Amino acid sequence: MREQVFEMFFTGNEGDRSLHGTGLGLAICRGMLGAHGGTVSAVEGPHGQGTQIIMRLPLSTPTQEPSDDA
């Protein structure tokens, strides 16, 4: 189910949360990160328990603004 959690309207029925979510949060997150060149993934948690959500965004190089001295 780790890849399914990124699909719109997917809600798992296991775990300690109630079933009142819409299933949009991680789908929106993946779209936003992707729009900025990043990624989000779900991997096995520490010691094989649970799940970790890993979000990555690329570092950008600051652009040099032209100076008014020219």
In a domain, 27, yes or no: yes
pLDDT digits (tens, 9 = 90+) for 4-14: 888 888 777 66
In a domain, 40, yes or no: yes
* Mean pLDDT computed over every residue of the chain: 83
Q: What is the pLDDT of residue 4?
A: 81
Q: Which of 52, 60, 46 is nearest to 5 (CA)?
A: 52
In a domain, 68, yes or no: no
H or E element, residue 32: helix 25-35
E strands of 1-70, at which residues?
Answer: 39-44, 51-56
Count of structural domains, the chain: 1
Q: Is the pLDDT of residue 50 over 80?
A: yes
Q: Which of 5, 37, 36 is nearest to 21 (CA)?
A: 5
pTM, two decimal places: 0.66
- Return d(Cα 47, Cα 27) in angstroms, integer: 26
In a domain, 46, yes or no: yes
Domain coverage including residue 49: 4-56
